[in-house]
Structure 1
Amino acid sequence: MASEAGLDRPIRVLIVDDHPFLRDGIATLIERQPDMAVAGEAGDGSEGIARFAELAPDVVLMDLQMPGISGLEAIEAIRGRSPDARILVLTTYPGDAQVVRCIQAGAAGYLLKNGIRKELLDAIRMVHTGRPALSPEIVHDLAAHALDEPLSDRELEVLRLVAEGHANKEIAWRLDLSIDTIKAHLKRAFEKLGVDDRTHAVTVAIRRGFIER
């Protein structure tokens, strides 16, 4: 359970990222603030879950792309145990679909790593006080696709197999569907993504976070 910080106590931050140099840089930035302190660090999602349980930090900074348990899975696990946990995602990858998944999992904010120096400290303070924090680019992407029809689970499944390099015939065999059904799913996915071919569909799906890199 996230701690309630008093006015005379710094915001205790747990940094979860698999890149030591980035953790060190963020830790240095935080430690320079009179109202913040580094509660601890973790190098992957599994360790992040354990460290959260051990330290009960006020705010968690969570990377998404990590070995083993991903950041998204760690968010779900932490929030499952502590519904009031305040988690701020830090990632290299934008993508409205990925942002929505993180928010649905319980993240209170989503920042791109290229904006850490300008946005991170204010975002930590916002999340700590219960306010959401999103990078401007993220807000733009969410607004741009707010009215888009979502991809169905089956369309996403087919696109993931296309991204892995499988032909329609093999996808049909794997999913126990007809080739015509696979083509129909792809056609519908193309329409929703605003593309005309498989390659472009995969590119857009990855950029928007429907498919993980």
Structure 2
Amino acid sequence: MGEGTWQRRVLVVEDHALMRSLVADAFGQRGFAVESAAAAHDALQLADRIDPDLLVTDIDLGSRPNGVELATILRERAPHIAVLFLSNLSRDAAAAHARETVAGASYVNKGAISSVDELVDAAEAVLADRPVTRDDARTGPRAALLRLSPAQLETTRLLAAGLTNAEIARRRGVSVRAVEKSVERVFQALGLSGGEQATTPRVALATLYVATLGDPVSGL
């Protein structure tokens, strides 16, 4: 980027480390200057330093302030900031309240997008004063992948990276049987068939993961 060129700044707030990294990387690849935080109190300190143009935050951050409260505080400090909520919660449960609290905010249900690139597209829209709502959860494996729980998503990433059940068990400090049950639930959620010969579903899962979320090996 040339000298004097303005670079848009985004603050990503997500308590799940893998999802936070994926979202931050997607914005970085689009030319944003990215800062990320796992909790609202860290995000508030970062915001004072970087003066972000855009806040992308999960609504449930596992602690208070939650994402809506964080956005409200930042809007009071900097009315210009664009806000995009990212959540597994339904619009009725979360987004309607969020939009009432933070004027002009956009809302994306994680199950309503098929890749993190679509999240960046939604952010581009809110930056252009075109708030969007994506709450009609799509069907199919890619949407199902984004609806997995954090623990299931991590298991999926490790499977996609080529780790065996025993290697995943050692890495996560659980029994092989617990991993087998988790893998079975992941296959069911994604519409893949396990069975005795699990090679084909594992290949399909790896292909799905890479197409939706990128390289699973990063960070291993």
Same-fold call, TM cutoff 0.5:
yes
Q: CA deviation at 1:128?
A: 1.1
Structure 1 gaps, min length 5: 1-6, 139-213
The residue number in structure 2 matching 1:21 is 18
Q: Could you state the TM-score of these two structures normalised by the residue count of structure 1?
A: 0.55
Q: 1:29 and 1:102 mapped to 2: Cα distance?
A: 24
Percent identity (aligned) = 24
Q: 1:68 and 1:113 mapped to 2: Cα distance?
A: 21
Farther off after superposition, 112-121 or 90-99: 112-121
One-letter amino acid of the structure 2 residue matched with residue 48 of structure 1: A
Structure 2 gaps, min length 5: 138-220
Instruction: Check if 1:96 corresponds to 2:92.
Output: yes
- Post-superposition CA distance 1:32-59 (Å, at most 9, x none): 22xx323311111222222222211111
Instruction: Report if aligned partners of 2:59, 2:94 keep a CA contact under 8 Å in 1.
Output: no
The residue number in structure 1 matching 2:51 is 56
1:5-154 aligned at under 5 Å gives the runs 8-33=5-30, 36-66=31-61, 67-106=63-102, 108-114=105-111, 115=113, 116-117=115-116, 119-137=118-136
Change (3 A) 1:118 1:137: farther
Q: 1:70 and 1:99 mapped to 2: Cα distance?
A: 13
Instruction: Report if aligned partners of 2:82, 2:105 keep a CA contact under 8 Å in 1.
Output: yes
Q: Could you state the TM-score of these two structures normalised by the residue count of structure 2?
A: 0.54
Q: 2:86 and 2:47 mapped to 1: Cα distance?
A: 17
Q: 2:16 and 2:93 mapped to 1: Cα distance?
A: 24
Which 4+ runs in 1 deviate beyond 6 A?
A: none
- Post-superposition CA distance 1:53-94 (Å, at most 9, x none): 221111110111112311111111111222221110011111
